[in-house]
């Protein structure tokens, strides 16, 4: 791969920032499964598989399933964050495969937050 | 008037910090800086319309702000008092019943600097790190700043080592920079050995590039060309993610030769450690990295003069390195604006033990332990009584209820006989025996002592024996004084930090919980009901309903009884494991003496 220059960093940043905020990407929904050691120990791999299976079953190709590290609240793992284009992210806690199915159907596909499973809306304060 | 500017991750990626800067400049220009405060807040959920700004009082909500709009906004609204309607947002009627992150105690008091990307990016994709301004600080450091300027920025920040001792980072960097030698090293200490601590593991797992970027910036400041990450074998996932991150950074030319076309060369190699607590000590870590047994040596020469293979070396821990890019990005004075007089910035803690919310928290220095335990931790599990909080891992001390309002700060923690340490925070409730806790930590340290210095090797062994005797009912008059004497010798006569801090758990528990030691010694009683040799379990036949729960659970078949017939415990068979107490649903049925 060609070595980057400083301008390239800015180019990648702009391109990726749009994609990550679901502004101009192909995806309109993103599910992030938190897979640090704590999440994995609590069963995050099963949660990941369940989301991937649900994605496979749906006919939509604009849903992105991705991973990230620990979200901080280890005692409530496994956790996942669901983001729908134009809306604030929602964190779900204490997940199991059954809950994943419900979240996928109601929130990811139909856009209705599953209130009883959600911890909070929004993201954390930086700096 | 307060301007509540959202600095949730969504708004930050939409340049909320530039808005803050622009607001500050404009307010200053109009002489309004005294009357109008700009306050950074957590995410309020309107990320899609970020950056967002709420003006208080009045709750006027501005959205999708850009730098260009700020002069107009400041002049119209804050100078002339005319709110700017076209920048406002009309909220939809229905409110989301789910709370926002800022309303959740666990998240509301946290301030993320080292953990700025946690849970937000895929740690295995360098592009996602770059999207959140990753490697921007490196670009700035390599093309706009001289090594001296980098150093002075870190100096201004007041950053101190997050590995435990709190040594000023810039001071160490300067020593290394000024040491003669063409070949220099920087090391990232990822050999986190405290029981119950996982700050460094989590940082590497969720954001490995922040550490690599910090190391590269530091290397530039010191003129080092070789980097090492010393990571314990017990952290396979962190290591795997770090290897991927290094490969990706090399592909992009962010590690290797001629980084970003600046002519600066630097690369990082990973060394695996076998998980020895002693490797937290710099000279031991270097010995292990070179392939020798990890034993500390006499300093001077300090590693900054003679480290890896006799060459100048600077060691910082994972969290310290992860802070560096933000300091370069946002300036040392921004960083030093957070925290207390001598402890700047934030600190990451692994909050564990008997609290409702356990996890990884990053808080500004100066926050009180009470806020950490009760507001963030949510209080004690099962609403039991708080007894102590242990900071600083095995080398730290236990802090009692009466000192819970202590601000978290290197000096203040040292004053009460504990240390900041690397950031383990273990909360203990009324069911914890403090003598047993001291014994646990001394047992750990005795095993981890390298054996080089007699006071540490033998002294900890004797202390362990005395503590075991006390716990098992063989304590005698004078044991407490003997422990204090030994503690002093181990502290004074050991070469390295392991020995000199090892007595802390004993000294702090004697200082604050002397009554528990005395109860064990004089009355052969363990007030918390933990020490097996000093307690007996029995069943109150008046209260027992005869549900068979404990009878089925007892591994030693020591419980007899029948349905609806009060049970009893055969003392000769009881192993005092406490399983009956754990399963019993009737208050007071299982009695511990």
Packing angle between helix B479-493 and helix B504-523, nearest 10 degrees? 170
Q: Is residue B532 part of a domain?
A: no
Contact list, B251 vs chain A (CB under 8 Å): 1
Phi, psi of B186 (to 5 degrees): -120, 140
Q: Is residue B552 part of a domain?
A: yes
Q: Is residue B110 part of a domain?
A: no
Where does a domain end: B429, B445, B475? Answer: B429
Residues B350 and B394 both lie in one domain: yes
Tell me how far the alpha carbon of residue B23 is from its chain's centroid: 33
* Residue in B98, B131, B360 closest to A13 by CB: B131
Tell me how far the alpha carbon of residue B216 is from its chain's centroid: 23
* Residue in B135, B198, B253 closest to A3 by CB: B253
* pLDDT tens-digit series, residues B399-430: 999 999 999 999 999 999 999 988 999 999 99
Residues B132 and B178 both lie in one domain: yes
What tokens does B520 get?
């064990």
Decide if B122 and A124 are in contact by the 8 Å CB cutoff: no
Residues B492 and B351 both lie in one domain: no
Contact list, B10 vs chain A (CB under 8 Å): 21, 88-89, 123
Give pTM, 2 decimals: 0.89
* pLDDT tens-digit series, residues A70-127: 999 999 999 999 999 878 899 999 999 999 999 999 999 999 999 999 999 888 888 7
Q: Does B10 touch chain A (CB under 8 A)?
A: yes
Residue B592, Cβ density class (10 Å: 0-12 exposed, 13-18 middle, ≥19 buried): middle
Q: Is residue B112 part of a domain?
A: no
Decide if A120 and B98 are in contact by the 8 Å CB cutoff: yes
* Residue in A5, A40, A121 closest to B96 by CB: A121
CATH value at residue B382: 3.10.20.600
Residues B303 and B320 both lie in one domain: yes
Tell me how far the alpha carbon of residue B483 is from its chain's centroid: 30
Residues B326 and B376 both lie in one domain: no
Q: Can you tell me the distance from the alpha carbon of A72 to that of B264, in angstroms, rounded to the nearest whole number? A: 36
Q: Can you tell me the distance from the alpha carbon of B37 to that of B28, in angstroms, rounded to the nearest whole number? A: 11
Contact list, B7 vs chain A (CB under 8 Å): 125-127
Query: Residue B125 has what DSSP assignment?
Result: -
Decide if B45 and A121 are in contact by the 8 Å CB cutoff: yes
Other beta carbons within 10 Å of B515: 10
Residues B146 and B23 both lie in one domain: no
Computed over every residue of chain A, the mean pLDDT equals: 91
CATH value at residue B578: 3.30.70.20
Token pair 């093309």: residue: B143
Residue A22 banded pLDDT, cuts 50, 70, 90: confident
Interface of A with B in 16-45 (CB under 8 A): 16-17, 19-21, 32, 34, 36-38, 40
Structural domain for B59, as ranges: 2-103
Please, what's the b/e burial string for B475-512 (b: 16 or more CB within 10 A of its CB; e: otherwise)?
beeebbeebeebbebbbeebbbbbbbbbbbbbbbbbeb
* Residue in A3, A70, A120 closest to B202 by CB: A70
Residues B584 and B517 both lie in one domain: no
Residues B371 and B299 both lie in one domain: no
Q: Can you tell me the distance from the alpha carbon of B367 to that of A46, in angstroms, rounded to the nearest whole number? A: 38
CATH value at residue B80: 3.40.30.10
Q: Is residue B118 part of a domain?
A: no
What tokens does B439 get?
């014994």
CATH value at residue B490: 1.20.1440.230
Residues B90 and B172 both lie in one domain: no
CA-based nearest distance A60→chain B, Å: 22
* pLDDT tens-digit series, residues B341-383: 999 999 999 999 999 999 999 999 999 999 999 999 999 998 8
Q: Is residue B67 part of a domain?
A: yes
Residues B12 and B144 both lie in one domain: no
Where does a domain end: B499, B523, B547? Answer: B523
Contact list, B116 vs chain A (CB under 8 Å): 126-127
Q: What is the ipTM of this complex?
A: 0.91
Residues B424 and B451 both lie in one domain: no
CA-based nearest distance A58→chain B, Å: 24
Q: Is residue B210 part of a domain?
A: yes
Q: Can you tell me the distance from the alpha carbon of A75 to that of A126, in angstroms, rounded to the nearest whole number? A: 22
* Residue in B42, B47, B98 closest to A118 by CB: B98
Domains and CATH numbers, chain A: 26-121 (3.40.30.10)
Regions of chain B short of the pLDDT cut 50: none
Please calculate the CA angle B8-B9-B12 and round it to the nearest 5 degrees.
90
Contact list, B98 vs chain A (CB under 8 Å): 90, 113, 115, 118-121
Report pLDDT for B84: 85
Where does a domain end: B429, B449, B470? Answer: B429
What tokens does B429 get?
């409730």
Residues B152 and B286 both lie in one domain: yes
CATH value at residue B153: 3.40.50.11540
Q: Is residue B80 part of a domain?
A: yes
> How many domains, in total, are found in chain B?
5
Q: Under a CB-based contact definition with an 8 Å cutoff, are residues B498 and B282 in contact? A: no
SS3 of residue A105 by DSSP: helix
């Amino acid at each position: 791969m060609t070595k980057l220059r400083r301008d390239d960093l800015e180019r990648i940043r702009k391109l990726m920032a749009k994609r990550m905020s679901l502004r101009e990407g192909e995806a309109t929904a993103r599910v992030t499964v938190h897979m640090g050691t704590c999440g994995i120990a609590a069963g995050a791999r099963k949660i990941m598989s369940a989301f991937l299976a649900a994605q496979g079953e749906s006919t939509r190709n604009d849903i992105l399933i991705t991973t990230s590290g620990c979200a901080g609240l280890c005692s409530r793992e496994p956790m996942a964050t669901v983001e729908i284009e134009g809306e604030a992210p929602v964190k779900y806690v204490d997940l199991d495969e059954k809950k994943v199915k419900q979240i996928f159907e109601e929130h990811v596909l139909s856009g209705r937050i599953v209130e009883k499973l959600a911890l909070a809306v929004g993201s954390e304060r930086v700096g | 008037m307060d301007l509540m500017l959202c600095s949730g991750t969504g708004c930050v990626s939409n340049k909320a910090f530039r808005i803050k800067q622009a607001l500050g400049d404009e307010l200053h220009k109009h002489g309004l800086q005294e009357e109008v405060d700009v306050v950074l807040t957590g995410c309020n959920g309107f990320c899609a319309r970020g950056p967002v700004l709420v003006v208080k009082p009045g709750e006027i909500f501005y959205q999708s702000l850009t730098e260009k709009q700020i002069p107009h906004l400041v002049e119209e609204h804050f100078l002339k008092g005319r709110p700017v309607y076209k920048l406002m947002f009309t909220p939809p009627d229905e409110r989301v019943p789910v709370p926002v992150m800022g309303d959740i105690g666990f998240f509301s008091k946290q301030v993320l600097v080292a953990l700025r990307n946690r849970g937000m990016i895929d740690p295995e994709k360098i592009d996602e790190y770059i999207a959140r301004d990753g490697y921007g600080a490196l670009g700035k450091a390599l093309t706009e700043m001289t090594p001296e300027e980098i150093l002075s920025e870190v100096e201004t920040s007041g950053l101190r080592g997050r590995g435990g001792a709190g040594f000023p980072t810039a001071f160490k960097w300067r020593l290394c920079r000024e040491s003669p030698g063409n070949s220099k090293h920087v090391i990232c200490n990822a050999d986190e050995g405290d029981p119950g601590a996982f700050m460094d593991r989590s940082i590497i797992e969720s954001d490995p590039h922040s550490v690599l970027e910090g190391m590269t910036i530091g290397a530039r400041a010191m003129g080092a060309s070789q980097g090492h990450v010393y990571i314990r074998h017990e952290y396979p996932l962190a290591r795997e993610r770090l290897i991927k991150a290094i490969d990706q950074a090399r592909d992009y030319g962010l590690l290797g030769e001629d980084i970003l076309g600046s002519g600066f060369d630097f690369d990082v190699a990973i060394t695996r450690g076998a998980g020895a607590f002693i490797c937290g000590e710099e000279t031991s870590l270097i010995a292990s990295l070179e392939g020798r047994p990890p034993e500390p040596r006499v300093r001077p020469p300090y590693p900054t003069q003679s480290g890896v293979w006799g060459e100048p070396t600077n060691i910082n821990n994972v969290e310290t390195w992860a802070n560096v890019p933000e300091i370069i990005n946002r300036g040392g004075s921004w960083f030093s604006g957070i925290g207390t007089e001598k402890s700047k910035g934030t600190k990451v803690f692994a909050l564990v033990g008997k609290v409702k919310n356990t996890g990884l928290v990053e808080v500004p220095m100066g926050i009180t332990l009470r806020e950490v335990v009760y507001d963030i931790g949510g209080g004690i599990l099962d609403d039991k009584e708080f007894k102590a909080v242990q900071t600083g891992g095995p080398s730290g001390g236990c802090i009692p209820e009466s000192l819970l309002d202590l601000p978290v700060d290197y000096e203040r923690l040292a004053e009460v006989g504990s240390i900041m340490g690397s950031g383990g925070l273990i909360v203990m409730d009324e069911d914890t025996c403090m003598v047993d806790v001291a014994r646990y930590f001394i047992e750990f340290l005795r095993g981890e002592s390298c054996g080089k210095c007699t006071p540490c090797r033998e002294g900890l062994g004797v202390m362990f024996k005395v503590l075991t005797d006390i716990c098992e009912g063989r304590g005698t008059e004078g044991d407490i004084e003997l422990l204090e004497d030994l503690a002093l010798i181990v502290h004074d006569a050991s070469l390295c930090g392991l020995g000199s801090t090892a007595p802390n758990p004993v000294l702090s528990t004697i200082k604050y919980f002397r009554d528990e030691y005395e109860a064990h010694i004089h009355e052969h009683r363990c007030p918390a009901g933990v020490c097996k040799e000093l307690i007996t379990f029995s069943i109150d036949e008046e209260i027992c309903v005869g549900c068979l729960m404990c009878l089925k659970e007892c591994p030693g078949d020591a419980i007899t009884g029948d349905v609806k017939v009060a049970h009893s415990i055969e003392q000769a068979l009881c192993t005092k494991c406490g399983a009956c107490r754990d399963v019993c649903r009737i208050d007071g049925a299982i009695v511990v003496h």
